[in-house]
Amino acid sequence: MANERPIGFIDSGVGGLTVVKEAMRQLPNEEILYLGDTARCPYGPRPAEQVIEFTWQMTRFLLKKNIKLLVIACNTATAVALEEIKQTIDIPVIGVIQPGSRAALKASETGRVGVIGTLGTVKSGSYENELRKKAPETYVSSLACPKFVPIVESNQFNSSVAKKIVSHTLAPLKREKLDTLIMGCTHYPLLRPIIQNVMGQEVILIDSGAETINDVSTLLDYFNLNNYQHAATKSRIFYTTGSPKMFKDIASEWLNIRDLAVTHIDLGGE
Ligand code: DGL
């Protein structure tokens, strides 16, 4: 049955799990196929052409598994590859930047919005473009935080080192009097308590990935693609190009799944 096909999620590593977590909460009937390109993470500092190539490799891998919808659960990949992939493949494709921008505009009262993301995302200017296209008066201050992803991938996101790095990196944004801050990298919600603490409780944090699931839900309705089968256990399959153990440690804790199967695959890259 077409509707029982899984939803595919791709990211450079474990970041997209923050999007999957929200999918499991809002859409518990859906089967999930996830691919994290951990062996080549981070994507943030890589040239756009390379990120596009890697994103296509991940996309082709999941298309062969017969997914019904693709979520590019990575801001860096969304910034450079979403439009091309959307126009080329014949299933719905969603990125994380438009939903995040929309949520920020909805949340902000002062129109002073911050964006934190990888070097690639910040360099692309995608969030500024989205925000200003819709609300030209928005003040946007963007900051690349290249040290955050390695902290998360090495499972140190609760450590005192993480606190120090986050606090030091975000210092320039604290002077900007922002009322809303977009976590424009799907890895960052794992650092959320620290980011919130550093920015102050009054700043509204936007989790772009989680916002994306609202759009996924809308698209499933629109295309009549919802899976209404109430099976006792839903299949959630995880692939990584890196170490399954490392991936599993983070994923089982974050998603609260004990028997999580993680399979290593090769995408034929580096
Ligand atoms: N999680 C990704 C993002 O949302 C990419 C992190 C990286 O590989 O640099 O941008």
Q: pLDDT per position in the chain (270 positions), as tens? A: 568 999 999 999 999 999 999 999 999 999 999 999 999 999 999 999 999 999 999 999 999 999 999 999 999 999 999 999 999 999 999 999 999 999 999 999 999 999 999 999 999 999 999 999 999 999 999 999 999 999 999 999 989 999 999 999 999 999 999 999 999 999 999 999 999 999 999 999 999 999 999 999 999 999 999 998 877 677 899 999 999 999 999 999 999 988 898 999 999 754
**Contacts for 133 with CB less than 8 Å, ≥ 6 apart:** none
Q: Which of 14, 46, 78, 187 to mutate to test the pocket of ligand 1 (most atoms within 8 A of CB)?
A: 187
Task: Report yes or no: 212 and 19 within 8 Å, Cβ to Cβ.
Answer: yes
From the list 27, 74, 85, 210, the catalytic residue is 74
Is 145 tagged catalytic? no
What is the reported pTM? 0.96
What is the per-residue pLDDT for 189?
A: 95
- The residue written with tokens 């943030």 in the block is 44
Residue 76, ligand 1, Cβ within 6 A? yes
DSSP-derived letter for residue 54 is: H
* Continuous H helices in the chain: 17-26, 48-64, 75-88, 97-107, 119-124, 126-134, 148-153, 160-174, 192-199, 208-222, 244-255
CB contact at 8 A, 97 and 202: no
Å from CA of 121 to ligand 1 middle: 8
Confirm or reject: Cβ of 149 under 6 Å from ligand 1. Answer: yes
pLDDT of 258 reads 85
Helices 75-88, 97-107: inter-axial angle, 10-degree rounding:
120
| Cβ 46 under 6 angstroms from ligand 1 | no
pLDDT number for residue 270? 46
Site to probe by mutation for ligand 1, drawn from 14, 52, 74 as the one with most ligand atoms within 8 Å of Cβ, is 74
Distance CA 212, CA 19 (A): 8
Ramachandran region of residue 224, left (φ > 0), alpha (ψ -120 to 50) or beta? left
Tell me the CA–centroid distance for residue 29 and ligand 1, in Å.
27
Ligand 1 centre from 45 Cα, in Å? 10
Please tell me the distance between residue 115's alpha carbon and the centre of ligand 1 in angstroms.
Answer: 14
Annotated catalytic, 41? no
**Region label for 5, one of left (φ > 0), alpha (ψ between -120 and 50) or beta (otherwise):** beta
Q: Which residue has the tokens 């299949």?
A: 235
